[in-house]
């Protein structure tokens, strides 16, 4: 057999790929097997768990709503406009994806802190954002919205412009054509983007810690509760981590199974 006809399963890169799969799977296997049923029950009974879970669900629901409300028209604008300005805006929107969360947290303090860019104006209005529940929501929106906007823009680029022309010719307004034609066609991609944004917001740690703090019952989300539990009881922290991992696994499985069927 010639060198070019070598079976793909014998290629050296496949072995390296298998090593990567093992590296990715090993921590998850270790986490899944680290907690007994009794430990899980004890972790769920911890006074840290339910307040942190409730805060996480409440803030991520609000941040996701804000992301969808503001991000959907932005994604459509980016998908349908050409020129330098849309590309610059797209770069700004995607930048938080590559920035370390700690950098985002410091940047948010510089923007909304008492001595920050907007601090004097907010202080004059009697408003304070850092180290409040509002700061948690702001941090989640900043780190998660790029995932929704990016997925939404890619989904809207798949909308056939002729469909919009036909809708307008049939008497639909630009807004009506958008909601009746563009949104339904792009809906699977929008759902994927919203799911990724929610998962990113749920797991946010670094920016939240620096900008909102780790105040029990006020700004301590579930990832921050893991950080706090590590200082007192590692077993409780493992249970919290297992819950977040299970949520992510269920979300990924749902996306794999439901979105392709919806798209078809």
pLDDT (average), residues 205-217: 93
CATH topology of domain 49-263: MetI-like fold (1.10.3720)
Q: Give 263's pLDDT tier (boundaries 50, 70, 90).
A: low
Strand, coil or helix: 125: coil
**Gap between the Cα atoms of 209 and 132, Å rounded:** 11
**If you search the block for the tokens 């994927």, which residue do you land on?**
192
| Separation of alpha carbons 252 and 257, rounded Å | 9
Does the pLDDT at position 147 exceed 80?
yes
* CA distances in angstroms from 213 to 98, 135, 259, listed in the order given: 22, 9, 36
Overall pTM surpassing 0.85 (yes/no): yes
Q: Of 251, 68, 65, 255, which is closest to residue 152 (Cα–Cα)?
A: 68
- DSSP code of residue 8: G
Rounded to an integer, what distance in angstroms lies between the CA atom of residue 243 and that of residue 49?
10
**pLDDT for 108-130, tens place per residue?**
999 999 888 998 999 889 899 99
Residues of the chain with pLDDT > 90, as a percent, come to 61
Which residue, 103, 98, 66, is CA-closest to 201? 66
Among residues 65, 121, 119, 73, the alpha carbon closest in space to that of 93 is found at 73
Report the alpha-carbon distance of residue 178 to residue 185 in Å, rounded.
Answer: 10
Q: How far apart are CA 82 and CA 79, in angstroms?
A: 8
User: Alpha-carbon distance 74 to 115, whole Å?
Assistant: 30
Q: Yes or no: say if 77 and 86 are a contact pair by the CB < 8 Å rule.
A: yes
Domain ranges of the chain: 49-263
What integer is the mean pLDDT of 135-140?
A: 97
CA distances (Å), origin 249, targets 154, 166, 199 = 24, 41, 10
The pLDDT score that the predictor gives to residue 60 is 96
Inter-residue contact 149 to 92 (CB < 8 Å)? no
**5 pLDDT band (50/70/90 cuts)?**
low
């Amino acid at each position: 057999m010639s060198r070019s006809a070598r079976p793909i399963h014998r290629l050296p890169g496949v072995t390296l790929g298998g090593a990567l799969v093992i590296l990715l799977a090993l921590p998850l296997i270790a986490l899944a097997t680290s907690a007994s049923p009794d430990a899980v029950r004890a972790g769920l009974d911890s006074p840290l768990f339910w307040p942190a879970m409730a805060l996480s669900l409440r803030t991520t629901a609000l941040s996701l709503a804000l992301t969808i409300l503001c991000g959907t028209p932005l994604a459509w604008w980016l998908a349908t406009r050409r020129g330098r300005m849309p590309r610059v805006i797209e770069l700004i929107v995607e930048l938080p994806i590559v920035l370390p969360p700690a950098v985002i947290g410091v940047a948010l303090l510089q923007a909304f802190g008492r001595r920050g860019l907007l601090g004097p104006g907010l202080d004059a209005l009697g408003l304070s954002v850092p180290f409040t529940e509002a700061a948690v929501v702001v941090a989640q929106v900043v780190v998660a919205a790029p995932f929704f906007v990016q997925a939404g823009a890619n989904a809207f680029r798949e909308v056939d412009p002729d469909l919009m022309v036909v809708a307008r010719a049939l008497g639909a307004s630009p807004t009506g054509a958008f909601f009746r034609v563009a949104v339904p066609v792009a809906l699977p991609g929008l759902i994927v983007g919203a799911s990724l944004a929610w998962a990113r917001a749920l797991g946010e740690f670094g920016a939240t810690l620096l900008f909102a703090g780790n105040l029990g019952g006020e700004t301590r989300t579930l990832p921050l509760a893991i950080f706090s539990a590590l200082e007192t009881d590692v077993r409780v922290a493992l249970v919290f981590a297992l819950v977040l991992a299970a949520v992510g696994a269920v979300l990924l499985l749902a996306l794999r199974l439901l979105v392709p069927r919806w798209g078809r």
